[in-house]
Amino acid sequence: MTALLADQVAVVTGGGRGFGRAIAETFAGLGASVVVASRNAPELDEVAAAIKKAGGKALAQTADVADERQVQELVLATERWVGPPTILVNNAGVLDPVGPLAETSGVSWLRNIAINVGGTYLVTRPVLPGMLDRDYGRVVNISSADADKASAGWSAYCTAKAAIDQLTRVLALEMEGSGVTVSAFHPGYMETAMQERIRAASTEDFPRVEEYQEAHRMGLVKDPRDPARVVAYLCLPATERNGAILEMDAAIVGAAEAALR
């Protein structure tokens, strides 16, 4: 891959596995200095080591995105290592609790919102001033089609993803004309640990489980490296998709492949 993200500093939350890891590795392959963040230090170390072995630049930084103090340390560690972030991908997220709302725990339900929505806010807020000062930045929020499609058993997750899409729209209005773009991306079916958990759910807890199982049988579940290329496209200096809420479809894949050639 060509160095289309040379001189860029990218922070990827939820970067220790699955889609986050694919995004981090794609960014590094395009020349970015990448900070991978999650709560799992061993996973982060493995990702950073793999990126460095491939000739890329990476820093592993343990952080719970729902903890403001840890988020502040994440941003400071990035600045100390290589400079202020020019790219932020808010990928960290959780699915639980799964099951009818009446049977969920208030603690786990609110924890979902704290990570998925609060974490997006907490990480975005401290990086924006620097982006605005430099008249440049790219923020991509990883959302889901479940922001628009209600799913029984996923009350917290669907609520959180809808909030992320709306937060994206609001922030895009605030960033209009600033050189900072904010977009959201719905990657669709991917082969990740979360998708495996979904396919293993009971129909009582998640009535749509057969839809996910059938998608897997039909070969519709993507390698996360494919949608990661779309995220990279959205973070290119030449790409300006401010306020866009994008699905993983032929049009966006085609645009990404043309830009990343």
Cα(116)–Cα(114) distance, integer angstroms: 6
Q: Is 238 helix (H, G, I), strand (E, B) or coil?
A: coil
Cα(218)–Cα(80) distance, integer angstroms: 47
DSSP 60-89: EEE--TT-HHHHHHHHHHHHHHT-S-SEEE
From residue 59, how far is each of 28, 32, 56, 91 by CA, in Å? 11, 11, 10, 17
Active-site pick, 121, 136, 157, 212: 157
Query: Catalytic annotation on 233?
Result: no
- Backbone dihedral angles phi then psi of residue 95, each to the nearest 5 degrees: -95, -40
Per residue in 185-212, is it b (16+ CB within 10 Å) or e — as a string?
bbbbbbebeebeebbebeeeebebbeeb
Burial label for 81, CB within 10 Å (0-12, 13-18, 19+), is middle
Q: Which are the catalytic amino acids? A: 157
